[in-house]
């Protein structure tokens, strides 16, 4: 089982959250219209960005292993959450640039759906909360 440790810390500014992931620091916040300072992406945008980044990286790794002439990958992710039904739909729009044939493109689109974050989001998830 893979373990990823991330911590989030809010100090004095209303929703501005400092995130530490290994040696990296990120900032999350809410939009001004939602009462935040817009100092960073909101948590939903961070979730969507994880899916976009993971899909991109997974396709790049696959194309590199195959020696395919993939020049650029653009992945846009939108998600719509229905609070009433507690359901969410993610939509990935993928653009590939390079001298790829239709078979290679089709395979890369399939590979995008095999990235670890895609699998997490479509698998069984449980959240255990510990209070300290």
Q: How confident is the model at residue 13, as a pLDDT?
A: 84
Domain presence at residue 128:
no
Query: What is the number of structural domains in the chain?
Result: 2
Q: Profile the chain (132 residues) by mean pLDDT over runs of 10 residues.
A: 83 92 94 95 96 98 98 96 94 98 98 97 94 91
Q: How confident is the model at residue 24, as a pLDDT?
A: 93
For 91, the domain range is: 43-122
Q: How confident is the model at residue 1, as a pLDDT?
A: 55
63, 5: one domain? no
Q: How confident is the model at residue 17, as a pLDDT?
A: 96
62, 21: one domain? no
Alpha carbon distances (Å) from 31 to 1, 9, 34, 47, 51: 35, 18, 5, 16, 21
């Amino acid at each position: 089982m893979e373990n990823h440790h991330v911590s989030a810390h809010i100090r004095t500014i209303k929703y501005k959250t400092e995130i530490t992931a290994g040696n990296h620091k990120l900032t999350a916040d809410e939009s001004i219209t939602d009462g935040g300072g817009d100092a960073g992406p909101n948590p939903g945008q961070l979730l969507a960005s994880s899916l976009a980044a993971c899909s991109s990286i997974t396709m790049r790794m696959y194309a590199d292993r195959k020696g395919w002439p993939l020049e650029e990958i653009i992945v846009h992710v939108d998600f719509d959450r229905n609070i009433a039904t507690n359901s969410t739909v993610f939509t990935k729009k993928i653009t590939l640039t390079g001298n790829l044939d239709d078979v290679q493109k089709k395979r890369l689109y399939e590979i995008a759906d095999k990235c670890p974050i895609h699998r997490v989001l479509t698998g069984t998830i449980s959240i255990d909360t510990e209070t300290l």
